[in-house]
Amino acid sequence: MMINNNRMMRFVIGTRGSKLALWQAEYVSALLQAKGAQTQIKIIDTKGDQILNQPLSEIGSKGLFTEELETELKQGFIDLAVHSAKDMPSMIPQELELIAFSEREKVNDVVVSLNPALTLKLAVEQNLKIGTSSTRRRATLNHYYPGIHLVDMRGNLQTRLRKMEEGQCDAMILAYAGVYRMEMSQYIVEELSEETFIPAVGQGALAIETAVSLSADKKAFLRSTLNDIDTEYCLLAERSFLKTMEGGCSVPVFALAKLEGDNLILKGGVISLDGTRQIEGIQRGNTQDALTIGNRLANDIIAKGGLEILEEIKRHKK
């Protein structure tokens, strides 16, 4: 009887329209269908998709890639929205909730280029152009490779690759997960250490968002089918850190949680826009205290001088 009920269950999945976003939605759809559910994918344009001629930091960070999907959730036009977890703002509307996180892919940032011999060290020496649209990546590159030639690079992965082929940049910094999922790993020329290039909060995982009002049986089905508990512990800690730091796309904060048995280790920090000041910290605790660990790390970073960096960034944005 349970199987029959699941087969009758139907979900409308909201997603952005990029090739990567569609891959993510189809991945989620396949998991749901494997458990007997019926699915339909609905493509929704977001502000971040529509405005491609400005850096993300100039548009504003709140809901750039999520706001329109969240409107559809509130109005009941879709049952769930599939997001890249790193695109999720630290706070979501009270009518909505994150109910599942997919198993995480490798979290590293990578250098992508048509030149297999290119490295970041070589890029600095030869004044090559490195493309990125991420404030965090720009600041981190400025920190470890002062003098590096950075250019803004917006658009989906295929668009960015075309821009690189046209000579707008010599290489790009991207998340491994997206490059791998788009079967473009052959362009990876350098994998950046997660110990130094600590990734964005949530990088490598998918976040499943629903309306609070969605039926309990649908929520239970989604969570049991899609949620990876180890990833959830890590992202709860990382997102708690982000929330206390009041971070977003235009604020270069970073955090990565790892599990060792029942223990959670969270490393994170903030870096100034020019890369000259970086403050990091580590907090540990039981997985059940993930939210507390994230909040504790953020308060530690703030106390060690992070507040001054955050205030400087806010002044710069104004």
Active site residues: 87
CB-based burial label for 220 (10 Å; 0-12, 13-18, 19+): exposed
* Half-sphere exposure at residue 224, Cβ-oriented, CA atoms within 13 angstroms: 11
* Helices 19-34, 216-226: inter-axial angle, 10-degree rounding: 110
Per the CB < 8 A criterion, the answer to whether 100 and 79 are in contact is: no
Which tokens belong to 168? 């707008």
Q: What is the signed CA dihedral for 61, 64, 66, 68, rounded to 10 degrees?
A: 130
Alpha carbon distance 230, 36 (integer Å) = 25
User: Which residues, listed in sequence order, are joined to residue 270 by a DSSP beta bridge?
Assistant: 253, 279
Per the CB < 8 A criterion, the answer to whether 156 and 20 are in contact is: yes
